[in-house]
Amino acid sequence: MERMPGWADVVLVPLISLIIAFAISGAVIWAIGESPVEALTVMIEGSVGSTYGWGYTLYYATNFIFTGLAVSVAFHAGLFNIGGEGQATLGGLGVALASLFVPWPHWSLALLGAATAAALFGAAWAAMPAWLQARRGSHIVITTIMFNFIAASLLNYLLVNVLRPPGSMDPASARFPETTNLPGLDAVLGLVGIPFSDATPANVSLLIALAACALVWALIWRTRLGYQIRAFGKSERAAVYAGISPVRITMWAMVISGALAGLMAVNTVQGEANRLLLNSVEGAGFIGIAVALMGRSHPFGVLLAAILFGFLYQGGAELALWTSIPRELIVVIQALVILFTGALDNMVRQPVEQAFLLLRRKGP
Amino acid sequence: MDFGTLIQILDSTIRLATPLLLACMAGLYSERAGIFDIGLEGKMLAAAFLSAATAFVTGNVWLGLVAGIAASLALSAIHGLASITFRGNQLISGVAINFLASGLTVLLAQNWFGLGGRTPSLEGDARFAEIRLPFADALSGVPVLGPVYADLISGHSVLVYVAFLVVPASAWLLYRTRFGLRLRAVGENPAAVDTAGVSVRGIRYAAVMICGVLCGLAGTYLATALAAGFGREMTAGKGYIALAALIFAKWRPWYALGACLLFGLLEALAIRYQSIDLGVVALPVQFMQALPYVLTVVILAGFVGKAIPPRAGGEPYVKER
């Protein structure tokens, strides 16, 4: 028996969770002696009030689309990939190596090469925990956490000892050649005649992110592999009975997940910094968890959730600039969103289900 | 390496192992009762902040300790609510708790003290002082044993001794008492415990709360004994190292002591030496930092012994009607 209609599950429950999370965030703002309404106004004006604001919002959203999709694909297979951070770190390494050591004649080829390298490196970093889970039974959550830290140490070592140009004190790679720099979103939108600020880091990788949304949708709901991934995620025993190999699905789901997380680096490393920095991921791997939970692991939901988090990120930066509310407010909001849409989902869901049951009894 | 240096490194090993040990034992209670806890990091961080803030305002480190434990317990209560009462995903709850602590501590620190997310430095009674054990000064002249007693065993804050006492106490509690048996049973086969008429929820909540108290101790130690005040993100992954140590120890108290001392030693070496020259190859400092995680992956993969987690770990218990 369906306890409640589909739209309630997909829209109503996340919306209520979101409202609770924002209400508590508002209470936090109020508790530290600031006005929640004023804070919201500053955030909205700073993030979507101008094309400059939109540029940053979309730049952050691009990161979160990739990491959100990464977590979603793993979720569909019943796997919790908490290692997006490490996979994106390795993706950054791939982008840097491809951009620094291959003489690309044009940015489009550089984008293709760097994206391939990013996806391969991210996939490889996810493949190891996947193999350990599938073959050796080690818990994927723990191994991916460990791989996050190992990735951070590895990158630290490579930046300090190998990639750092001679004479430089920064633990960062050399600047990438001019030909690898990606055109900004203003250039893309300029082609269709939309004026857009040229001072933002938003770039063509947004289009790759949108394409990734469509591809992930097609993969999960329109291919045999996607069907097997979903079947495996719903019930491992039923999937095995149907002849689906757990090892194969675990590997594929995690490799795709890692590749998506790795692709994030194209946006940050190639699109924005133009060199590899120590912490270019900046927690986007973890935000992917919140984005996937809120988007109910559906690419369209992920897209909306990613834009919402992009708005929160840019709005948070504006808050720190114009008010005395620190940027960390965003981390609190993010935590509350994860808590209410993820861990406390049943707390919201049960009353909604009961309400629908009551309505049904009264009805015909 | 001379004897004096060795004593120094071992001394700093004990100091660095203490927060790991407390957090590791905290995780042990929770996970042995079937509640995964990747929120150790967040609980430590919250405790570190509130203990330092309270100790600074009141000038009394003991009040700081109470506040630190309270902060950690509050987050434990959220974890319990999400994973026991509402049968949510324990891992996701842990992630949320880590972010909540990470954001709230800096937000409140900035709001209360305006120092960019840290508390003012603690002095005097606002910190845990080092305890000189009896005869430490008298015996320090004795060769070998003297320095070991005076510098290595004596001269730590009270929380260090508490941490080392938690190990035998936990081993006794878990393996020699009725509560311990039930706690372990709840983590292996909750239905059996339920059949015996014992509340699965009650035992699990108790375990999660014990976990909260121990994380509170760990965080308080970080901010008021190891350092003199709270700094943003001061736990710096220690909660995850503790988690690694727990797996390394295969969820057993005495093994946890060994694992935490080993990881403490690695940290002490990484702080003291930029790289370690083994003659054939020089190990970079980053390698030392990554070693606990690499070792944990190897152990978890079952290449060196097999780490088998509690069977009912991570699964909410649904009582049959």
Nearest Cα to Cα of residue B32 among B191, B217, B247, B214 = B247
Residues B113-156 pLDDT 10s: 888 888 888 888 888 888 877 777 777 777 777 777 777 788 78
Contact B83 A330 (CB under 8 A): no
Percentage of chain B beyond pLDDT 70 is 96
ipTM value greater than 0.90: no
Instruction: Find the closest chain A residue to B79 by CA distance.
Output: A343
State which H helix or E strand residue A344 sits in.
none
The residue type of A22 is F
Contact A328 B110 (CB under 8 A): yes
Min Cα distance A155 → chain B (Å) is 9
- pLDDT level of residue A1 (50, 70, 90 thresholds): very low
Domain ranges in chain B? 3-300
Contact A153 B289 (CB under 8 A): yes
* Residues in A touching B316 (Cβ below 8 Å): none
How many angstroms from the chain centroid is the CA of residue A179?
Answer: 27
* Residues in A touching B83 (Cβ below 8 Å): 343
Contact A153 B287 (CB under 8 A): yes
Judge if pTM exceeds 0.90: no
Regarding predicted confidence, which is higher, A352 or A303? A303
Give me the mean pLDDT over the B169-176 stretch. 95
- pLDDT level of residue B306 (50, 70, 90 thresholds): low
* Residues in B touching A326 (Cβ below 8 Å): 106-107, 110-111, 117
Instruction: Find the closest chain B residue to A136 by CA distance.
Output: B301
Q: Is residue A339 part of a domain?
A: no
Contact B107 A332 (CB under 8 A): yes
Contact A344 B88 (CB under 8 A): yes
Contact B86 A346 (CB under 8 A): yes
Instruction: Find the closest chain A residue to B102 by CA distance.
Output: A331
Candidates B99, B235, B246, B299: best to mutate against A (most CBs of A within 10 A) is B99
State which H helix or E strand residue B291 sits in.
helix B285-300
Q: Is residue A209 part of a domain?
A: yes
Q: Is residue A17 part of a domain?
A: no
Regarding predicted confidence, which is higher, B302 or A248? A248
Domain count of the fold of chain A: 1
- Expressed as residue numbers, the domain containing A223 is 35-323
Q: Is residue A160 part of a domain?
A: yes
A342 touching B (Cβ < 8 Å): yes
Give me the mean pLDDT over the A141-160 stretch. 90
Min Cα distance A75 → chain B (Å) is 12
B74 C-beta neighbours (distance < 10 Å), count: 15
3-state secondary structure chain A: CCCCCHHHHHHHHHHHHHHHHHHHHHHHHHHCCCCHHHHHHHHHHHHHCCHHHHHHHHHHHHHHHHHHHHHHHHHHCCCCCCCHHHHHHHHHHHHHHHHHHCCCCCHHHHHHHHHHHHHHHHHHHHHHHHHHHHHHCCCHHHHHHHHHHHHHHHHHHHHHHHHCCCCCCCCCCCCCCHHHCCCEHHHHHHHCCCCCCCCCCCECHHHHHHHHHHHHHHHHHHCHHHHHHHHHHHCHHHHHHCCCCHHHHHHHHHHHHHHHHHHHHHHHHHHHHCCCCCCCCCCHHHHHHHHHHHCCCCHHHHHHHHHHHHHHHHHHHHHHHHCCCCCCHHHHHHHHHHHHHHHCHHHHHHHHHHHHHHHHHHCC
Residues B194-226 pLDDT 10s: 999 999 999 999 999 999 999 999 999 999 998
* Residues in A touching B78 (Cβ below 8 Å): 339
Residue positions counted in chain B? 321
A138 touching B (Cβ < 8 Å): yes
CATH, domain range B3-300: 1.10.3470
Q: How many CB pairs under 8 A join A and B?
A: 156
Residues A196-206 pLDDT 10s: 888 888 888 99
Of A149, A154, A335, the CB nearest to B100: A335
A305 touching B (Cβ < 8 Å): no
CATH number of the CATH domain containing A153: 1.10.3470
pLDDT exceeds 70 at position B4: yes
Q: Is residue A21 part of a domain?
A: no
